[in-house]
Amino acid sequence: MGMGTLARTEVGAEGPSELVEAIVYGRASQDRHLLMRSIDDQVTECEAWCRPLGWHVARVIKDANRSASQWRRREREGFEEALSLIDSGRYRGFVTWEPSRAGRDLAVYVQLRAACQRAGVLYLTHGRVYDLSRSDDSFMMGFEFLRAEADANTMRERQLRTVRLNAEKGRPHGRLCYGYRRVYDERTGTLLRQEPDPRTGQIVKDAARDVLAGASLWSVAMALQDAGEPTPMRPWSESPRGWDTYTIRQVLQNPTIAGKRVYRGEVIGDAAWEPLISWEDFQKLQRLFADPARRTKGGGGTPAKTLMVHIARCHSCGRPLRRATMRRKDKADAVKYRCGFRGCYKTTISQPGLDAYVEEVALSWFEQPANLARLTATDGEGWLTQAHAAEEELASLQKRLDEAADHYAAGELALSTLTRIERELRPKVERAQRALVPPITDEHVRALVTAGDVRTAWAKLALAEQRRIIKALFDVRIQQTANRGQNEFEPERVLITPRV
């Protein structure tokens, strides 16, 4: 029997048939428990269609939990294997329960049709055999795949509409945020509400409180790690991962914990669930995360050996200085801080000299009554209002600088004019940046500056704590020396600016 005779033959029709080696392909979009029950039902019915035709099912291929639309995020390994087998020329038939199992994308049909035409393979679906080398069968199958694609488009539009409506009404949708749990109707399985989880919700509250009080993200993460608390995401079995600074930051940067609904990355309003922390505290956390004073090199790696390593910065390029040992003949080795950035290498300064100088400047600053008042001031809503105004001013100033630079690049502005504009606006930019730094609420800083003897209290602190306080409160820049070859410490090269 030729291919034309078999084309559009209905299962159960009388007439001779020839042996056809066939591939049966089954697919399901959602198979959450990976049981493949619906796929097995598809395969069973496909095998039943093959028997009266005399087709022998030689291969069964399954794609579980795989979408077939153009928006699929995962590859269909099974379908790719089926196309490869069709191209091999060893099979005469390809079987799916319905065309949408093979694909909900017209481009997939074009690919399948070409493969079947090249290898002379017949397509059995809906209980009928189609010869895709015939124009009428090809057109009919093209219409089926086009309809499957339209159904996929409709389903996607409906899902997006549902997501948008849920977002506008503050309802939960998508992945569950750490710190919460969802309550479902036991009979229907319908989502009833999202509410704080008694255990993980308290973890989020405690983490936010500790970070606002001055604790490092690393210390919060290590406390949870030591307690054996499970992480928000299950670790990979090949590479187990516990709590770290990234995980803590990710949890505390999610507006969901402040009772806000997020849609496409933007906060669009209040959510229908109870917040774990206030919106004001959430904003304070984001200010702290954005503050460059909190950024440290690495996390949990080799402890720093000196006070200012990776804290002091090169005034020329702005990058942190590294610690380096200079070997010298007939003399003791000299330990220095140096800029190691390729293309700069402009700054080198004595490590013992800089550490001692910064320490003395910092302690003298702590002992001044005016600075003590600034460090121990009560944090209120006034700073939030000030920070919002500073943000707007900073954006406006930066826009003016950018526009001036664009005009200069286009030849519309003289260099002298651009220099004058920058000289005028830069101090305003720096003042706005300083206004964004939140008031100090760190308990360790308060304890230090309110001690009866600040210098004795400072000497009792561990080096890591001294470094953290210096980094949080001061910006230290080192200028290039004018006396190369000399090893004396030059205090005039050190620029120390309080961050508060």
Q: What is the pLDDT of residues 208-261, one digit of tens each?
A: 999 888 788 888 888 888 888 888 875 544 445 678 888 898 899 988 898 887
β-strand 122-125 against 93-95: which pairing, if any?
parallel
Are 272 and 318 found together in one domain? no
pLDDT over 60 at 17, yes or no? no
Last residue within a domain, chosen from 228, 262, 290 = 290
Instruction: Name which residue leads in pLDDT, 352 or 163.
Output: 352
DSSP E strands: which ranges in 185-333?
Answer: 191-196, 260-263, 266-270, 313-314, 322-326
Where residue 423 falls among pLDDT bands split at 50, 70, 90? confident
Q: What is the CATH number of the domain that holds 28?
A: 3.40.50.1390
Are 403 and 472 found together in one domain? no
Tell me the average pLDDT across 9-28: 71
Mean pLDDT for all residues in the chain:
80
Tell me the average pLDDT across 125-153: 90
Q: What domain range is 321 assigned to?
A: 293-379+438-500
Predicted structure pTM score:
0.43
Q: Look at residue 122 and tell me if it is in a domain.
A: yes
- Which of 280, 303, 298 has the alpha carbon at shortest distance from 465? 303
- 203 by Cβ neighbours in 10 Å (0-12 / 13-18 / 19+) ranks as buried
The confidence score (pLDDT) of residue 119 equals 93
Measured distance CA(454)–CA(490) in Å, rounded: 26
Instruction: Name which residue leads in pLDDT, 370 or 426.
Output: 426
The amino acid occupying position 268 is I
pLDDT over 50 at 3, yes or no? no
The confidence score (pLDDT) of residue 172 equals 66
Are 244 and 323 found together in one domain? no
pLDDT over 70 at 34, yes or no? no
Tens-digit pLDDT profile for residues 111-133:
999 999 999 999 999 999 999 99
The DSSP code sequence of 415-451 is HHHHHHHHHHHHHHHHHHHHHTSPPP--HHHHHHHTS
pLDDT over 80 at 134, yes or no? yes
Where residue 298 falls among pLDDT bands split at 50, 70, 90? very low
The confidence score (pLDDT) of residue 387 equals 64
What total of structural domains would you count in the chain? Answer: 4
Q: What is the CATH number of the domain that holds 223?
A: 3.90.1750.20
Where residue 15 falls among pLDDT bands split at 50, 70, 90? very low
pLDDT over 70 at 392, yes or no? yes
Q: Which residues contact 211 (CB under 8 A, 6 or more apart)?
A: 217, 220, 248, 252, 285, 288
Where residue 358 falls among pLDDT bands split at 50, 70, 90? very high
Instruction: Name which residue leads in pLDDT, 297 or 52.
Output: 52
Where residue 418 falls among pLDDT bands split at 50, 70, 90? confident
pLDDT over 50 at 462, yes or no? yes
Are 150 and 54 found together in one domain? yes
The confidence score (pLDDT) of residue 196 equals 92
Instruction: Name which residue leads in pLDDT, 376 or 279.
Output: 279
Q: Say which range, 91-100, 134-143, 386-395, has the weakest mean pLDDT.
A: 386-395
The confidence score (pLDDT) of residue 342 equals 63
Q: Look at residue 169 and tell me if it is in a domain.
A: no
Measured distance CA(432)–CA(390) in Å, rounded: 5
Measured distance CA(490)–CA(315) in Å, rounded: 15
Measured distance CA(320)–CA(295) in Å, rounded: 11
Are 9 and 106 found together in one domain? yes
Are 328 and 268 found together in one domain? no
Q: Look at residue 391 and tell me if it is in a domain.
A: yes
The confidence score (pLDDT) of residue 112 equals 94
- Which of 221, 195, 198, 199 has the alpha carbon at shortest distance from 210? 221
Q: Look at residue 165 and tell me if it is in a domain.
A: no
Q: Which residues contact 324 (CB under 8 A, 6 or more apart)?
A: 335, 336, 337, 338, 340
Where residue 294 falls among pLDDT bands split at 50, 70, 90? low
How many Cα atoms within 13 Å fall on the side-chain side of residue 198?
0
pLDDT over 70 at 143, yes or no? yes
Phi-psi region of 275 (alpha: psi -120 to 50; beta: other; left: phi over 0): beta
Q: How many CB atoms lie within 10 A of CB 384?
A: 16
Q: Look at residue 170 and tell me if it is in a domain.
A: no
The confidence score (pLDDT) of residue 300 equals 44
DSSP E strands: which ranges in 292-414?
Answer: 313-314, 322-326, 334-338, 348-350
The confidence score (pLDDT) of residue 264 equals 66
Are 203 and 265 found together in one domain? yes
Tell me the average pLDDT across 153-175: 69
Tell me the average pLDDT across 71-96: 90
Q: Which residues contact 422 (CB under 8 A, 6 or more apart)?
A: 401, 404
Are 404 and 456 found together in one domain? no
Are 349 and 485 found together in one domain? yes
Q: Residue 422 is encoded by which pair of tokens?
A: 């920058």
Last residue within a domain, chosen from 290, 310, 341 = 290
The confidence score (pLDDT) of residue 416 equals 83
Q: Look at residue 432 and tell me if it is in a domain.
A: no
The confidence score (pLDDT) of residue 228 equals 84
Last residue within a domain, chosen from 255, 290, 325 = 290
Tell me the average pLDDT across 399-417: 82
Q: Look at residue 162 and tell me if it is in a domain.
A: no
Q: What is the dihedral of CA 108, 106, 101, 76, to 10 degrees?
A: 30
Q: Look at residue 350 and tell me if it is in a domain.
A: yes
The confidence score (pLDDT) of residue 381 equals 52
